[in-house]
Amino acid sequence: MGDAMDRCDPCSGELAPGKTTLEIWRGDQLVVIRDVPADVCLQCNEAYISPNVSERLDHFLVECHQHQPEQYLSVPQYSAAQAMDEP
């Protein structure tokens, strides 16, 4: 591998080792994975995940239904029509 990025693509900010939370749609189901190791931009918070981590997450997502989730989140959903409808 190697070839690690040391600068943020959009803003050229400096990257530092950190963690991020991923929200991944699988069909009509939203899956959240927290504390994913990533290089995080110190300026804009953009997170970069290594190919190795990404691959392991891909494997996990295939069989994630076999694992008991930490918790279930309930999130509000709105339509763009609602969001953009002036009162």
Minimal CA–CA distance to 4: which of 16, 33, 58? 16
The secondary structure element, H or E, covering residue 53 is helix 51-62
Minimum Å gap between C-beta 80 and Zn ion is 27
Residue 64 CB neighbours (<10 A):
15
Of 20 and 64, CB closest to Zn ion: 20
Of 46 and 49, CB closest to Zn ion: 46
Minimum Å gap between C-beta 36 and Zn ion is 17
Where along the sequence are the contacts to Zn ion (CB under 5 A)?
8, 11, 13, 41, 43-44, 46
Residue type, 30: L
